[in-house]
Amino acid sequence: MKKQLIAAAVAASVSAVAMADISITGAAKVNYTNVDYAGSTADNNKFSQETDIKIKGKSGDTEVVINFGGGGLDNTGTAADAATARTGSTSQVANVEDVYMTTNAMGVAIKAGTWDNGNNELRASSRTDGKFQATTSVGSIDLGFFTNSSEGEEYTVGTDLGGVNLSFTKKNAGETIKASTTIAGVNVKYLGLPEDAANKDRSYYEVSTKVGDVSLKVGQADADSGATLDGDTWLGDFEGNTSGHYALSANQDITGIELGTSVAGNKVTFRNINVDGVSGEDTKINKVIVTRPLASGATFELTYTDVADDNATDTSTLDLELAVSF
C-alpha cells in the first residue's frame, strides 16, 4: 500500500512539472562596426555581441517574468582581447534585468517587481526595484496607479474622445500628456512632459503616413532652456551616459524625417536628423538602414551613419549586424 501511495505521489509531481506553463524566448545579435574619423587615418574596428533571454511562467491569470541580458566581447582583435575571450570577463556574464509578476484581481491588472519602462523621444528609460502598478477600466475610462520608492506616485487617466486617444499622468514633479489620432490616413501623435520647475518642459510632435509603397514620418522634439532631451529611438541615441552616442545639452531640439520602402526583398530606411538649439553645437545625422531576413532564420542588417557635428569630429560608421529571435 505504501509503495502504491509513493508511486502515486511521484506520478502526481511529475505530471505537475510536465503541465507547468513555462516558455523561454530570446534574441541574440553580433555586430561588426567600423568608424571612420574625418581627417584621421585611424579607424575604429570592433566586434560586439548581445544576448537576451526571457523566461515566463504562468498559472491561470498570473505570470512571473525574468529577463536576462548579457553583453559580450567588445574588442578590436588585440592579443589582450583574445586572452579575455579565452578566460572570460564580467562583461560576458548574463545579468538579471527584469523580474516581475502580473496578475488580475477583481478586474484590476496588477504588476509588481522590477522592469524597464522603455525609452521615448524625450527621455531615457529607467529600471528600478520595488515597482507596483495597478490598472483598470471603468466604462470608457482607463485608470492607472504606479508607485516606487525612488520615483514616487503616479496617477493616470485615459480615454478615447471622438477618435482621439488621450492620456494624462500626474507625477510628483510634473505630468505626462499623450494624444494620438488618424485623420484621412495621416497619423498624428503628441507627447508632452511638462515639469513643475521653470524652463524644464519637453514636447514631441509626430506625423506619419504612407504614400504608395513609401512610408513617411516626420518628428520634432523640443526642449526648454533648462531641459535636455534624452533617450534612444528612431530620432537617434541621445542617452546622456557612457552608452549614449550623442549626449545633448539643454535647449537643443531634434527634427527628424524618415522614409521607408521595400526593394528586392530588402527593407530600406533613410533618416535625416538635425539637432540644434545651442550655438556651435548643431549636428546633422544621415542614416541608411537595409534589413533582410535570411533563409537560416536570422536577419542581416546594414546601417551606414554619417555624422557632421559643429562641435566634434565628423564620423562615418558602418555597422553590420546578424540577429536572431527565438
| pTM, two decimal places | 0.83
Q: Is residue 83 part of a domain?
A: yes
pLDDT score at 92: 54
First CA to last CA distance, the chain: 47
Q: Is residue 1 part of a domain?
A: no
Domain encompassing residue 99 = 26-325
Closest CA to 269 of 252, 251, 292: 292
In the predicted model, what is the mean pLDDT of residues 24-37? 95
pLDDT score at 244: 55
Task: Mark 60-97 as b/e (b = at least 16 C-beta within 10 Å).
Answer: eeebbbbbbbbbbbbeeeeeebeebeeeeeeeeeeeeb
Which is higher by pLDDT, 124 or 204? 204
Q: Is residue 158 part of a domain?
A: yes
Q: Is residue 14 part of a domain?
A: no
Closest CA to 273 of 245, 241, 240: 245
Looking at every residue in the chain, the average pLDDT score rounds to 87
**Confidence bin at 43 (pLDDT 50/70/90):** confident
CATH classification of the domain holding 319: 2.40.160.10
The number of distinct structural domains making up the chain is 1
Whether pLDDT at 93 is above 70 = no
Which residues pair with residue 286 across a beta bridge?
272, 306
Tell me how far apart the alpha carbons of residues 136 and 142 are, in angstroms, rounded to a whole number: 6
Tell me how far apart the alpha carbons of residues 219 and 234 are, in angstroms, rounded to a whole number: 10
Do 125 and 118 meet the contact criterion of CB atoms below 8 Å apart? yes
Q: Is residue 189 part of a domain?
A: yes
Q: Is residue 2 part of a domain?
A: no
Q: Which cell goes with 61? A: 491569470
Q: Which cell goes with 205? A: 510632435
Give SS3 for 5.
helix
The beta strand positions in 8-140, using DSSP E, are 21-37, 43-59, 62-70, 95-105, 108-116, 127-138
Whether pLDDT at 4 is above 70 = no
Burial class (CB within 10 angstroms; exposed 0-12, middle 13-18, buried 19+) of 123: buried
**Confidence bin at 305 (pLDDT 50/70/90):** very high
Q: Give percent of the chain above pLDDT 70.
A: 83
Q: Is residue 46 part of a domain?
A: yes
pLDDT score at 5: 44
Tell me how far apart the alpha carbons of residues 259 and 214 are, in angstroms, rounded to a whole number: 7
Q: Which cell goes with 136? A: 483598470
Q: Is residue 13 part of a domain?
A: no
What secondary structure does DSSP assign to 275-324, as a single string?
A: EESSTT--EEEEEEEEEEE-TTS-EEEEEEEEEEETTS--EEEEEEEEEE
